[in-house]
Structure 1
Amino acid sequence: MGCDRNCGLIAGAVIGAVLAVFGGILMPVGDMLIENTIKKQVVLEEGTIAYQNWVKTGTEVYRQFWIFDVQNPQEVVVNSSRIKVKQRESEYIFSI
């Protein structure tokens, strides 16, 4: 049982149309499902992957902070002068 050229073209057109409709439906639905999954998992609540990663990272995490004090705030606001800053404390490194 064979299919001539017209039969193949019609079958290809039907399959293409079905796939186009299927893709048109799945694109917004897939985006919605992905967005909902991300919204559920990024919350820091017990039972979420984000919480598990936040509690135990598996590696050392270092954070560094530098604190600066603006020496001339009024001149900056009034005259649009260049900001003069002074570093207050030395850097802090926290290991979690």
Structure 2
Amino acid sequence: MGCDRNCGLIVGAVIGAFLAVLGGILMPVGDMLIQKTIKKEAVLEEGTIAFKNWVKTDTEVYRQFWIFDVQNPEEVAVNSSRIKVKQRGPYTYR
């Protein structure tokens, strides 16, 4: 007992409408749950996951800085000469 073309179109339309209604309901509910979780866990208060990760990370975190020293500032200011710079660094901090 098969389903003809009209039956298939009706079944497809009903399933599509059901999924559209379900998505329309779940999108705001899911968004609300995500916002609630973010407000609860992203705050740096003792007892939250964010606080635990902020106090002690699992990996070492390093910052690197490069400083460029202008070697000819007077010539640049007076004659608009080409800038000569010397790279200092990287300075690495944990």
What TM-score do the two structures reach when normalised by structure 2? 0.61
Name the structure 1 match of 2:5.
5
Give me the whole-angstrom Cα distance separating, in 2, the residues matched to 1:56 and 1:25: 40
**Which residue pairs with 2:57 in the alignment?**
57
1:48-95 per-position Cα deviation (integer Å, ceiling 9, x unaligned): 21011012112334569xxxxxxxxxxxxxxxxxxxxxxxxxxxx874
Aligned CA RMSD, in angstroms, stands at 2.0
In structure 1, stretches of 5+ residues that fail to align are 65-92
2:36 and 2:24 mapped to 1: Cα distance? Answer: 19
Query: Aligned equivalents of 2:62 and 2:6: distance in 1?
Result: 67
Is 1:34–2:34 an aligned residue pair?
Answer: yes
SS of 2:28 mapped into structure 1: helix
Structure 2: gaps (5+ residues): 65-91
In the TM superposition, what are the counterparts of 1:44-83 in structure 2 within 5 Å? 44-61=44-61
1:4-28: CA deviations, max 9, x gaps?
A: 1111110000000000001111111
Q: Percent identity?
A: 81
Amino acid at match of 1:45: E
Task: Figure out how many residues of one structure are paired with residues of the other and give that number.
Answer: 67
- Partners of 2:61 and 2:5 lie apart in 1 by 65
* Cα separation, 2, equivalents of 1:29 and 1:22: 11
Q: In the aligned structure 2, how far is the partner of 1:15 from the partner of 1:54?
A: 47
Please, what TM-score do these two structures have when normalized by structure 1? 0.59
